[in-house]
Amino acid sequence: MRPCCVRARLHSGLGNRLYTAVEVALVAAARNCSLALPDELHRWFVLPSFVRRDRDRDRDRDRDRDARCEPVRSMQAASADADVRAAATRALDAPDFQRARARVFRLLFARPRRSVVTPPLARVPFETAVHLRFATDVACQTYTDIRACHTFCVRSAPLGCVVRHAVPPVLILSDSAAASAKLRGLFARRGVRDVWEEGDLLGALDARNHSGLSERAAWQSMRLWAAFMNAPIRFASGISTFSKSALLAAPSARPRTDRVVDTRCRKAHRSDGELFECRVAALGRDLT
Protein backbone atom coordinates (compact mmCIF):
# COMPACT_ATOMS: atom_id res chain seq x y z
CA MET A 1 0.00 0.00 0.00
CA ARG A 2 1.37 3.41 -0.96
CA PRO A 3 1.73 5.96 1.88
CA CYS A 4 -0.90 8.66 2.08
CA CYS A 5 -0.42 12.40 2.40
CA VAL A 6 -2.81 15.30 3.02
CA ARG A 7 -2.10 18.97 2.49
CA ALA A 8 -3.94 22.05 3.70
CA ARG A 9 -5.43 24.48 1.22
CA LEU A 10 -5.68 27.71 3.17
CA HIS A 11 -8.15 30.51 2.55
CA SER A 12 -9.68 33.62 4.09
CA GLY A 13 -8.09 35.46 7.04
CA LEU A 14 -5.28 34.36 9.30
CA GLY A 15 -7.43 32.75 11.99
CA ASN A 16 -9.30 30.65 9.44
CA ARG A 17 -5.99 29.56 7.91
CA LEU A 18 -4.68 28.33 11.24
CA TYR A 19 -7.93 26.55 12.07
CA THR A 20 -7.92 24.84 8.67
CA ALA A 21 -4.30 23.72 9.08
CA VAL A 22 -5.16 22.15 12.45
CA GLU A 23 -8.19 20.36 11.02
CA VAL A 24 -6.04 18.92 8.23
CA ALA A 25 -3.39 17.87 10.75
CA LEU A 26 -6.08 16.04 12.72
CA VAL A 27 -7.19 14.26 9.53
CA ALA A 28 -3.57 13.26 8.92
CA ALA A 29 -3.31 11.86 12.45
CA ALA A 30 -6.58 9.98 12.11
CA ARG A 31 -5.52 8.37 8.82
CA ASN A 32 -1.85 7.93 9.77
CA CYS A 33 -0.92 10.08 6.76
CA SER A 34 1.93 12.54 6.34
CA LEU A 35 1.09 16.23 6.57
CA ALA A 36 2.06 19.05 4.21
CA LEU A 37 1.48 22.69 5.11
CA PRO A 38 1.91 25.72 2.83
CA ASP A 39 5.20 27.55 2.62
CA GLU A 40 3.80 30.63 4.38
CA LEU A 41 3.26 28.68 7.62
CA HIS A 42 6.83 27.41 7.48
CA ARG A 43 8.01 31.03 7.12
CA TRP A 44 5.94 32.17 10.11
CA PHE A 45 6.38 29.25 12.53
CA VAL A 46 9.03 26.78 13.64
CA LEU A 47 7.01 23.72 12.64
CA PRO A 48 7.75 20.13 13.73
CA SER A 49 10.20 18.27 11.52
CA PHE A 50 7.56 15.81 10.32
CA VAL A 51 5.53 18.58 8.61
CA ARG A 52 6.33 18.78 4.91
CA ARG A 53 6.79 22.09 3.12
CA ASP A 54 4.11 22.36 0.44
CA ARG A 55 5.07 24.71 -2.37
CA ASP A 56 2.82 25.06 -5.41
CA ARG A 57 5.75 24.82 -7.80
CA ASP A 58 6.97 21.58 -6.22
CA ARG A 59 3.77 19.56 -6.20
CA ASP A 60 4.10 17.95 -9.60
CA ARG A 61 7.88 17.61 -9.85
CA ASP A 62 8.83 16.24 -6.43
CA ARG A 63 10.16 12.78 -7.32
CA ASP A 64 10.66 11.83 -3.67
CA ARG A 65 6.96 11.67 -2.98
CA ASP A 66 5.44 8.22 -3.09
CA ALA A 67 1.96 9.66 -3.34
CA ARG A 68 0.57 13.04 -4.28
CA CYS A 69 -0.95 14.85 -1.33
CA GLU A 70 -4.71 15.04 -1.15
CA PRO A 71 -5.82 18.68 -0.76
CA VAL A 72 -8.15 19.46 2.15
CA ARG A 73 -9.80 22.87 2.49
CA SER A 74 -12.55 22.42 5.08
CA MET A 75 -12.35 24.07 8.51
CA GLN A 76 -14.48 21.18 9.80
CA ALA A 77 -12.61 18.34 8.10
CA ALA A 78 -12.06 16.52 11.41
CA SER A 79 -14.48 18.23 13.81
CA ALA A 80 -17.59 17.43 11.76
CA ASP A 81 -16.85 13.71 11.33
CA ALA A 82 -17.38 11.50 14.39
CA ASP A 83 -15.14 8.70 13.07
CA VAL A 84 -12.30 11.10 12.29
CA ARG A 85 -12.66 12.75 15.70
CA ALA A 86 -12.42 9.41 17.45
CA ALA A 87 -9.45 8.23 15.38
CA ALA A 88 -7.55 11.50 15.84
CA THR A 89 -8.15 11.41 19.60
CA ARG A 90 -6.75 7.88 19.79
CA ALA A 91 -3.78 8.71 17.57
CA LEU A 92 -2.85 11.68 19.75
CA ASP A 93 -3.45 9.76 22.97
CA ALA A 94 -5.70 12.53 24.28
CA PRO A 95 -8.55 12.25 26.81
CA ASP A 96 -11.04 13.77 24.35
CA PHE A 97 -11.18 15.44 20.96
CA GLN A 98 -11.14 19.01 22.28
CA ARG A 99 -7.87 18.39 24.07
CA ALA A 100 -6.47 16.55 21.07
CA ARG A 101 -7.28 19.59 18.95
CA ALA A 102 -5.73 22.00 21.45
CA ARG A 103 -2.62 19.79 21.51
CA VAL A 104 -2.27 20.13 17.74
CA PHE A 105 -2.67 23.92 17.92
CA ARG A 106 0.23 24.07 20.38
CA LEU A 107 2.30 21.52 18.46
CA LEU A 108 2.06 23.52 15.23
CA PHE A 109 1.81 27.16 16.27
CA ALA A 110 3.32 27.68 19.72
CA ARG A 111 6.63 28.88 18.22
CA PRO A 112 6.35 31.88 15.88
CA ARG A 113 9.67 32.64 14.24
CA ARG A 114 11.87 35.39 15.64
CA SER A 115 11.25 37.57 12.59
CA VAL A 116 7.54 37.64 13.47
CA VAL A 117 7.95 38.91 17.03
CA THR A 118 10.79 41.42 16.62
CA PRO A 119 10.38 45.25 16.38
CA PRO A 120 8.32 47.29 15.79
CA LEU A 121 6.21 45.16 18.13
CA ALA A 122 8.89 45.15 20.83
CA ARG A 123 8.84 48.97 21.00
CA VAL A 124 5.29 48.97 22.37
CA PRO A 125 5.18 47.34 25.82
CA PHE A 126 1.84 45.99 27.04
CA GLU A 127 0.55 43.72 29.78
CA THR A 128 -2.97 43.14 28.46
CA ALA A 129 -4.06 42.47 24.86
CA VAL A 130 -7.70 42.80 23.81
CA HIS A 131 -9.10 41.56 20.50
CA LEU A 132 -12.55 42.79 19.46
CA ARG A 133 -14.26 41.32 16.41
CA PHE A 134 -17.59 42.80 15.33
CA ALA A 135 -18.17 42.38 11.61
CA THR A 136 -17.13 40.29 8.63
CA ASP A 137 -15.41 41.67 5.56
CA VAL A 138 -18.50 40.79 3.55
CA ALA A 139 -20.83 42.67 5.89
CA CYS A 140 -18.61 45.73 5.67
CA GLN A 141 -18.24 45.37 1.90
CA THR A 142 -14.55 46.04 2.22
CA TYR A 143 -11.37 44.03 2.55
CA THR A 144 -8.79 46.78 2.86
CA ASP A 145 -10.26 49.21 5.42
CA ILE A 146 -12.40 47.15 7.76
CA ARG A 147 -11.68 49.48 10.70
CA ALA A 148 -13.85 52.10 9.00
CA CYS A 149 -16.87 49.77 9.05
CA HIS A 150 -19.93 50.96 10.98
CA THR A 151 -22.32 48.07 10.31
CA PHE A 152 -22.27 46.78 13.89
CA CYS A 153 -23.37 47.67 17.39
CA VAL A 154 -21.22 47.79 20.50
CA ARG A 155 -22.49 46.67 23.90
CA SER A 156 -20.98 48.58 26.80
CA ALA A 157 -21.14 45.73 29.32
CA PRO A 158 -18.47 43.51 27.71
CA LEU A 159 -16.17 46.50 27.31
CA GLY A 160 -16.72 47.38 30.97
CA CYS A 161 -15.62 43.86 31.91
CA VAL A 162 -12.40 44.36 29.95
CA VAL A 163 -11.69 47.62 31.77
CA ARG A 164 -12.29 46.03 35.19
CA HIS A 165 -9.92 43.11 34.63
CA ALA A 166 -7.24 44.56 32.34
CA VAL A 167 -3.82 45.50 33.68
CA PRO A 168 -2.14 48.43 31.88
CA PRO A 169 -0.41 49.00 29.57
CA VAL A 170 -3.13 47.72 27.20
CA LEU A 171 -3.03 46.83 23.50
CA ILE A 172 -6.37 46.97 21.62
CA LEU A 173 -6.74 45.03 18.38
CA SER A 174 -10.10 45.71 16.78
CA ASP A 175 -11.82 45.57 13.40
CA SER A 176 -13.57 48.82 14.36
CA ALA A 177 -11.87 52.14 14.99
CA ALA A 178 -15.09 53.37 16.63
CA ALA A 179 -15.13 50.45 19.08
CA SER A 180 -11.47 51.02 19.91
CA ALA A 181 -12.23 54.68 20.64
CA LYS A 182 -15.11 53.70 22.92
CA LEU A 183 -12.92 51.29 24.87
CA ARG A 184 -10.15 53.87 25.14
CA GLY A 185 -12.70 56.30 26.54
CA LEU A 186 -13.74 53.83 29.24
CA PHE A 187 -10.10 53.32 30.19
CA ALA A 188 -9.57 57.08 30.32
CA ARG A 189 -12.45 57.45 32.79
CA ARG A 190 -10.56 55.12 35.10
CA GLY A 191 -7.38 57.10 34.65
CA VAL A 192 -5.68 54.52 32.42
CA ARG A 193 -3.64 56.33 29.78
CA ASP A 194 -1.23 53.62 28.63
CA VAL A 195 -3.44 52.24 25.86
CA TRP A 196 -2.08 51.30 22.44
CA GLU A 197 -3.74 50.26 19.19
CA GLU A 198 -2.57 48.20 16.25
CA GLY A 199 -1.76 51.36 14.30
CA ASP A 200 0.85 52.12 16.97
CA LEU A 201 2.49 48.79 16.13
CA LEU A 202 2.23 48.66 12.36
CA GLY A 203 1.29 52.14 11.17
CA ALA A 204 -2.20 53.30 10.22
CA LEU A 205 -2.20 51.94 6.66
CA ASP A 206 -1.15 48.41 7.57
CA ALA A 207 -3.53 48.31 10.54
CA ARG A 208 -6.58 48.81 8.32
CA ASN A 209 -6.18 45.66 6.25
CA HIS A 210 -7.12 42.47 8.11
CA SER A 211 -7.94 40.45 5.01
CA GLY A 212 -4.81 38.40 4.50
CA LEU A 213 -5.50 38.59 0.76
CA SER A 214 -2.06 40.02 0.02
CA GLU A 215 1.30 38.78 1.26
CA ARG A 216 1.89 42.04 3.12
CA ALA A 217 -1.53 42.00 4.81
CA ALA A 218 -1.11 38.36 5.84
CA TRP A 219 2.35 39.10 7.27
CA GLN A 220 1.12 42.07 9.31
CA SER A 221 -1.85 40.07 10.60
CA MET A 222 0.59 37.38 11.67
CA ARG A 223 2.63 39.90 13.65
CA LEU A 224 -0.48 41.14 15.44
CA TRP A 225 -1.47 37.54 16.19
CA ALA A 226 1.94 36.83 17.73
CA ALA A 227 1.74 40.00 19.82
CA PHE A 228 -1.68 38.94 21.10
CA MET A 229 -0.58 35.38 21.83
CA ASN A 230 2.45 36.51 23.85
CA ALA A 231 0.55 38.99 26.05
CA PRO A 232 0.43 37.99 29.74
CA ILE A 233 -3.31 38.85 29.94
CA ARG A 234 -5.58 38.28 26.95
CA PHE A 235 -9.19 38.99 26.07
CA ALA A 236 -10.31 37.05 22.99
CA SER A 237 -13.38 37.70 20.88
CA GLY A 238 -15.85 34.84 21.12
CA ILE A 239 -16.63 35.05 17.39
CA SER A 240 -13.03 35.32 16.16
CA THR A 241 -10.81 32.50 14.93
CA PHE A 242 -7.93 35.02 15.05
CA SER A 243 -7.86 35.45 18.82
CA LYS A 244 -9.21 32.00 19.77
CA SER A 245 -6.47 30.32 17.76
CA ALA A 246 -3.89 32.38 19.66
CA LEU A 247 -5.27 31.18 23.00
CA LEU A 248 -5.26 27.59 21.78
CA ALA A 249 -1.72 27.82 20.43
CA ALA A 250 -0.13 29.42 23.49
CA PRO A 251 2.55 27.13 24.98
CA SER A 252 0.75 26.95 28.33
CA ALA A 253 -2.84 27.62 29.35
CA ARG A 254 -3.51 30.63 31.58
CA PRO A 255 -7.05 30.06 32.87
CA ARG A 256 -6.82 32.83 35.46
CA THR A 257 -5.96 35.53 32.95
CA ASP A 258 -7.48 34.43 29.62
CA ARG A 259 -11.02 35.64 29.05
CA VAL A 260 -13.44 35.60 26.15
CA VAL A 261 -15.57 38.64 25.32
CA ASP A 262 -18.98 38.33 23.64
CA THR A 263 -19.17 41.07 21.01
CA ARG A 264 -22.61 40.02 19.69
CA CYS A 265 -25.59 42.30 20.17
CA ARG A 266 -28.00 39.53 19.22
CA LYS A 267 -27.99 35.86 18.34
CA ALA A 268 -27.45 35.32 14.63
CA HIS A 269 -29.38 32.05 14.79
CA ARG A 270 -31.58 30.46 17.43
CA SER A 271 -29.09 27.59 17.73
CA ASP A 272 -26.33 30.00 18.78
CA GLY A 273 -25.31 30.15 22.42
CA GLU A 274 -26.80 32.73 24.75
CA LEU A 275 -25.27 36.19 24.97
CA PHE A 276 -22.79 36.83 27.76
CA GLU A 277 -20.44 39.67 28.71
CA CYS A 278 -17.06 38.14 29.33
CA ARG A 279 -15.86 35.06 31.16
CA VAL A 280 -12.78 32.97 31.80
CA ALA A 281 -12.00 31.02 28.62
CA ALA A 282 -12.90 27.35 28.81
CA LEU A 283 -11.84 24.65 26.38
CA GLY A 284 -14.82 23.20 24.54
CA ARG A 285 -17.25 25.93 25.58
CA ASP A 286 -15.38 28.97 24.30
CA LEU A 287 -12.30 27.68 22.49
CA THR A 288 -13.97 25.63 19.78
CA distances from 8 to 104, 112, 214 (A): 14, 19, 18
Measured from the Cβ of residue 67, the count of other Cβ atoms closer than 10 Å reads 12
For residues 68 and 113, the model is more confident at 113
Average confidence score pLDDT of the chain: 85
How high is the pLDDT of residue 87? Answer: 98
Q: Which residues contact 76 (CB under 8 A, 6 or more apart)?
A: 23
Q: Is the pLDDT of residue 46 over 60?
A: yes
Q: Which residues contact 151 (CB under 8 A, 6 or more apart)?
A: 135, 139, 140
For residues 272 and 86, the model is more confident at 86
Determine the residue type at 288: T
- When pLDDT is averaged across residues 109-117 and rounded to a whole number, the result is 92
Q: Is the pLDDT of residue 210 over 70?
A: no
Q: Is the pLDDT of residue 233 over 80?
A: yes
Q: Do 93 and 99 touch, CB atoms closer than 8 A?
A: no
How high is the pLDDT of residue 88? Answer: 98
Domain residue ranges of the chain, discontinuous segments joined by +:
5-111, 115-280
Nearest to 117 by CA among 2, 4, 240, 246: 246
Determine the residue type at 278: C
* pLDDT band, very low/low/confident/very high, at 145 (cuts 50, 70, 90): low
- When pLDDT is averaged across residues 209-216 and rounded to a whole number, the result is 66
* pLDDT band, very low/low/confident/very high, at 57 (cuts 50, 70, 90): very low
Kind plus residue range of the DSSP H or E element containing 38: strand 34-38
Q: May I ask the CATH class of domain 115-280? A: alpha beta
Q: Is the pLDDT of residue 52 over 90?
A: yes
Percent of the chain with pLDDT over 90: 56
Q: Is the pLDDT of residue 184 over 60?
A: yes
How high is the pLDDT of residue 256? Answer: 67
DSSP helix/strand/coil, 171: strand
Q: Is the pLDDT of residue 101 over 80?
A: yes
How high is the pLDDT of residue 177? Answer: 80
- When pLDDT is averaged across residues 25-31 and rounded to a whole number, the result is 97
